[in-house]
Every structure is written in structure tokens, then in C-alpha cells.
Amino acid sequence: MEVLEVTEKAEGILVGGLSLFSLEDTLDCGQCFRFRRDADGWRGVAGSRPLLVRETGEGVLFSCTPEAFESFWRGYFDLDRDYAALRESYLAMPALRECARYAPGIRVLRQDAWEALISFIISQNNNVRRIQGIVSRLCRQFGTPCGEDPLEPDRTAYAFPSPEALAGRSEDDLAPLRAGWRAGYILDAARRVALGEIDLAAVAALPLPEARARLQTIRGVGPKVAECVLLYGMARMEAFPLDVWMKRAMKTLFPGCTPADFGECAGIAQQYIFHYCRRHPSLVR
DNA sequence: GCCCAGGTATAAA
DNA sequence: TTTATACATGGG
């Protein structure tokens, strides 16, 4: 296992000693929708925590306090998982190694369950650029200001809105988001969670089949969205989201394979495969 | 205009 | 149980 070198700098926390880590691979691979690249690096918000993070010659520089890094970002970016060992375990599957070659620096982010639920409800039959826009408007409309960007004090960051902040709204209230028919789904999810009918922390602890079934009682949550919530929002690395494209690609790339064949971290393998499929549309068309 | 996008609910076979 | 279709929105 590699050793993280965490040092405090004036600008933030510098993390050296990371291998198999890339901000672009991680933040632009369709698993989260609130980070964008700009001239300073990657800027975004997770929950109610704004962050600027960038790669330097010495390592990855997180513009945050040591406390925020240790208590949140370190876990969010999955920095303590041994991806090198994972990679070793994948060597036996040449097709998977080929997939990983296109984005070897992917880390599966450990996002908030509620945020992941709403984000992937919005993702259905939608494209990443538009998903980002809808989520951005959702936070701007219904989230509370949660600080300022460290380098651009005129820019306000907004938290992801709580279930309670959405539960009392109407579809008309959500119209400015331009989320289409998904607005009703967002409201159903918000009400169920706000009322306590759905306890996301409890769902996260259930055996996978029960957790899936529970999530799918939410309107607009089918097998695909449920699987995304489990993987990205509940740190269930054995979850394996499959979209229509990937189902077909799996047959040619991994004939006869099931998600279980990818082991306890099948979901991470899935992220490599997903990324590869997006860059090879001819594979599935 | 047409097709597509990290799908799902619904009805019908 | 599987298959067909509508669904709102915006970019190519």
C-alpha cells in the first residue's frame, strides 16, 4: 500500500505519494456532476463543502483546512483505498486492463447518499452536460450559500439542498430547473426522505438485494438509478450500474461474465468500463 | 426537422 | 416475463 504524504502548505493541503490518481479521470467520468475545470484547477462542491483542487508537480493540492481534508475530502476521494492492489487483481482480465488504460486515475468518489439519489434521478435519459446544469440550478435555487471560493471571493458556493428544502415545493416551483418530467420524481424522493419513510443511512446498511428493492420504491428510481446510489452514494463497491450501452458492450468485452466475477470492488471496474465505452461508441452501436 | 442522452412508468402481449 | 412507447429539454 502506498503511503500518503500529507503536508500543510499556505495554500492548502498537499498530498504526495499518490499513484493511479487523476482529477480529470475522477471528476469528469460521469459519477459526479458538481465539479468543473477552470483556469485554477477543478472547482466544485460536495454536499455543503466547496473545494478547489489541482495537480501540481509535487502532488495534489487541496484548498481546504487540514480538518476538512482529514474529516471529509480524504474519504470523499477514496484516497486510502489501495488502487494499485486493485489494478493487480485486474491483471488477470486483459479486457478490463485495456479499459482501465484509458482512465487509470479514476477514483470512485464516496458521495452523500441523498445527493447521489437526486443526481442520478436527474441523470435518467439525460446527458452529462445537461445534468450538470440542472444540478447547478437546483443548488442555486434551493441550496443555502456555503462559503466563498478561496481564490475568487466574489463567487458564492451553494450547498446541495436538503430533503426538507425540497419536500414542500411544487412542480411549478421546480420549473426553473428545466428538469422535465423528473421534477415529480425529485419531489417524491424529497418527501419520502424528509418524512422518514426512506432512511438512507439504514438503506446503506442493508444487504444489497434489499437495499435495491427499498430504493426502487421511490418513483423514478429503477434498477439503474438504485445501483448508482448504492455505488456512488453508499460506498457499496460491489454495486454495478449498467446502462443500455454497457449491457451490450459487456457481451463483447466480457462474454459470460457477471458483475460478481469482478469481485468485491466490481463497481470500480464498472467505472473503468463505462469510461471506455463512452470513448468507443463504435463498440456498442 | 432528426437523433441522442449514465432510464423509468405504464400498458400490452 | 418480456417488449413497446411516451416522457421534457437541449446540443449536435
| Residue A117 near residue A129, CB atoms below 8 Å | no
HEC secondary structure over chain A: CCCCEEEECCCCEEEECCCCCCHHHHHCCCCCCCEEEECCEEEEEECCEEEEEEEECCEEEEECCHHHHHHHHHHHCCCCCCHHHHHHHHCCCHHHHHHHCCCCCCCCCCCCHHHHHHHHHHCCCCCHHHHHHHHHHHHHHHCCEEEECCCCCCCEEECCCCHHHHHCCCHHHHHHHCCCCHHHHHHHHHHHHHCCCCCHHHHHCCCHHHHHHHHCCCCCCCHHHHHHHHHHHCCCCCCCCCCHHHHHHHHHHCCCCCHHHHCCCHHHHHHHHHHHHHHCHHHCC
Q: What confidence category does residue A283 fall into, taking pLDDT thresholds of 50, 70 and 90?
A: confident
A133 CA to C9 C1', in Å? Answer: 11
Angle between helices A113-122 and A128-142 (to 10 degrees): 130
Summarize the confidence of residues A79-94 as an average pLDDT: 94
pLDDT exceeds 90 at position A148: no
pLDDT exceeds 80 at position A284: no
Q: Give tens-digit pLDDT for A156-176.
A: 999 999 999 999 999 999 999
Residues 227-246 of chain A in contact with strand C via CB under 7 angstroms = none
Phi-psi sector, A199: left (phi>0), alpha (psi -120 to 50), beta: beta
List the nucleotides on chain C closer than 7 A to a protein CB. Answer: 7-11
Please check whether strand C approaches the CB of A91 to within 7 Å: no
Summarize the confidence of residues A97-107 as an average pLDDT: 96
A33: nt with nearest C1' to CA = B6
Q: Give tens-digit pLDDT for A11-67.
A: 999 999 999 999 999 999 999 999 999 999 999 999 999 999 999 999 999 999 999
pLDDT at A150: 64
What does the block give as the cell for A216? 426502487
pTM: 0.97
Please check whether strand C approaches the CB of A248 to within 7 Å: no
CA–CA separation, A245 and A283 (whole Å): 9
Give whole-number Cα distances, A252 to A99, A272, A277, A284, in Å.
Answer: 13, 16, 11, 9
Q: What percent of chain A has pLDDT over 70?
A: 98
pLDDT at A155: 84
Per the annotation, the verdict on A224 as an active-site residue is: yes
CA–CA separation, A128 and A122 (whole Å): 10
A23 CA to B1 C1', in Å? Answer: 40
Give whole-number Cα distances, A133 to A130, A177, A222, A285, in Å.
Answer: 5, 8, 23, 27
pLDDT exceeds 70 at position A136: yes
pLDDT at A202: 98
Let me know if A258 is exposed, middle or buried by CB neighbors in 10 A (0-12, 13-18, 19+): exposed
pLDDT at A244: 82
A46 CA to C10 C1', in Å? Answer: 26
pLDDT at A151: 64
Q: Give the residue whose CA sits closest to B7 at C1'.
A: A124
| Residue A215 near residue A113, CB atoms below 8 Å | no
Summarize the confidence of residues A120-142 as an average pLDDT: 97
Q: What confidence category does residue A74 fall into, taking pLDDT thresholds of 50, 70 and 90?
A: very high
Q: What type of residue sits at position A165?
A: A
pLDDT exceeds 80 at position A223: yes
pLDDT exceeds 80 at position A152: no
List the nucleotides on chain B closer than 7 A to a protein CB. Answer: 4-9
A78 CA to C2 C1', in Å? Answer: 39
A94 CA to C11 C1', in Å? Answer: 36
* A205 or A92, greater pLDDT: A205
Q: Give tens-digit pLDDT for A250-259.
A: 999 999 999 9
Q: What confidence category does residue A117 fall into, taking pLDDT thresholds of 50, 70 and 90?
A: very high
- Identify the CA nearest to A1 among candidates A86, A100, A95: A86
